Amino acid sequence: MRSWKGENKVVTIKIYNTMTRQKEDFQPRSPGKVRMYVCGPTTYNFIHLGNARPLIVFDAVRRYLEYRGYEVIFVQNFTDIDDKIIKRAQETGEDALQLSARYINEFFKDAQALGVKPATHHPKVTEHIPEIIEMIAGLIEKGFAYEVDGDVYYAVEKFASYGKLSGRSLEDMQAGARVEVDERKRHPMDFALWKKAKPGEPSWPSPWGEGRPGWHIECSVMSLKYLGAEFDIHGGGFDLIFPHHENEIAQSEAYLGQPFARYWMHNGFITVKEEKMSKSLGNFFTVREILQHFSGQVVRFFMLSSHYRNPLDYSPEKLEEAKKGLERLSNALANGQEYSNGVNGIMSEEAAAAREEFIQAMDDDFNTALALSVLFELARQINAGVAAGEEKEKIAGLTGVLAELAQVLGLELKAGEKAEADAGLLKELVDFLLLLRQEARARKDWTTADAIRNKLGDLGIIVEDTPNGPRWKRK
């Protein structure tokens, strides 16, 4: 993929930072390098449509940053031990860690189908237990955590700016919490860093006894291990702002004594008929189920057709629309490539303007919806140019930019598949016309037979009559 930094231009990308609630100029910690962490799935089932959105969104962000010339270190974790995994393993009679490993393998199959590149690092919680224990011990030593009967809790009241990401005070959180009060906690909103093992659960030795990590501590440990303090982008779904990301900030900054991440990005919810997707409402869909009816590229196109921060409403009808949109782009690419085959393209004003408009859209908080509109305008110009017989060098240039920008979004425009389908259709049509010609010749209807042959000749099809029947080829 071509990396484009611009001619004599400063790269200025704006990112909406959830922490400050405004768009900010993107300034990575190290020039030319982006360190990026995105929360991955808890692996107890196939990923669902809600999981797929951050996968695709942040893959597109990563691809664009690379296109703009950055070296991107991208980390996405697997939560491979958790209450949900243990519960599912108990239901199926399977070993919890084996169940999790199986669904990690299934994750990679779905991610590949969606056009998602593997991360630079895919750390697993179970591979980082010593580092997790070390960080918990450090928090206890600094007075931000305490142990009670083998459990370790984070003391939220000790962190003065707790709530700064979600914009909620401790009083508001406590009033809106739907959790049973644990009398052992110093404050109702204190959260678990280490959980004492229950009989039959996977566990690891620690200074506080056998147990396993809490949910939030794992992402702090793994992001800091692979990216270092004050890394550039931390991403995830809108639902992770509280409590997960809020708690990550509290424990990480208390441990480090400095900022955790520079920019916080969150994608909007997936809804079904404008209701949040959930199993209880019966509107819950796994990616694997959807891939039985639509390609992963169609799902990706659908996800990118809306700005990542907006809610996105799912329906099979909308995937059908996405399929048609993807076909329009593929057909335009095929038309342009076929028309300008073998010709070197030129960077016309139209092609250069399209690339610049695409970059402006993506520089403005990764507006993929607006970027896609640029691709459709390119497709229109290609089709119109082919129909008007414009110079092939110009069409080749437009086609090249369309392919380039689609690739930045991770969209595969299957021009080859269309060309193959068109070739098959052409063969069927010519064979049918030759059959009609043979029937006309058998009736001694020479006028019709000659008319068919002459028309095919006008269309570039040469017909040869042989003892074994007619043969044809293109001029």
Binding residues: 39, 219, 244, 248, 279
Report the alpha-carbon angle 168-140-236, nearest 5: 40
Q: Which of 37, 52, 18, 111 is nearest to 303 (CA)?
A: 52
Instruction: Spell 229-257 as b/e; 16+ CB within 10 A means b.
Output: bbbbbbbbbbebbbbbbbbbbbbbbbbbe
CA distances from 104 to 100, 148, 202, 323 (A): 6, 33, 18, 28
Tokens of 291: 């891939």
Radius of gyration of the chain (CA): 29
Per-residue b or e along 112-137, where b marks 16 or more CB atoms closer than 10 Å to that residue's CB: ebbbbeebbbbbbbbebbebbbebbb
Tell which residue, 111, 107, 115, 36, has the closest CA to residue 78. 107
Cα–Cα distance, 382 to 398 (Å, whole number) = 7
Long-range interactions of 350-353: CB distance < 8 A, separation 24+:
350/381, 350/394, 350/398, 351/378, 351/394, 351/397, 351/398, 351/400, 351/401
Copy the structure tokens of residue 376.
């459709």
Mapped to the 3 state alphabet, what secondary structure does 426-453 carry? Answer: HHHHHHHHHHHHHHHHHCCCHHHHHHHH
* Residues in CB range of 211: below 8 A, 6 or more apart: 150, 151, 194, 195, 196, 197, 203, 204
The pair of structure tokens assigned to 343 is: 């010709």
Contacts of 12 (CB under 8 A, 6+ apart): 25, 26, 363
Widest CA span of the chain, in angstroms? 102
Strands (E), 245-390: 261-267, 270-272, 275-276, 312-314
Location of structure tokens 């009083």: 171
CB 19 within 8 A of CB 312: no
Known binding-site residues for Zn(2+) equal: 39, 219, 244, 248
Cα separation of 114 and 58, whole Å? 12
CB-CB contact of 61 with 235 (8 Å)? yes
For residue 325, the tally of other CB atoms under 10 A from its CB is: 18
Annotated binding site for ATP: 279
CB neighbour list of residue 247: distance below 8 Å, 6 or more residues apart: 154, 191, 216
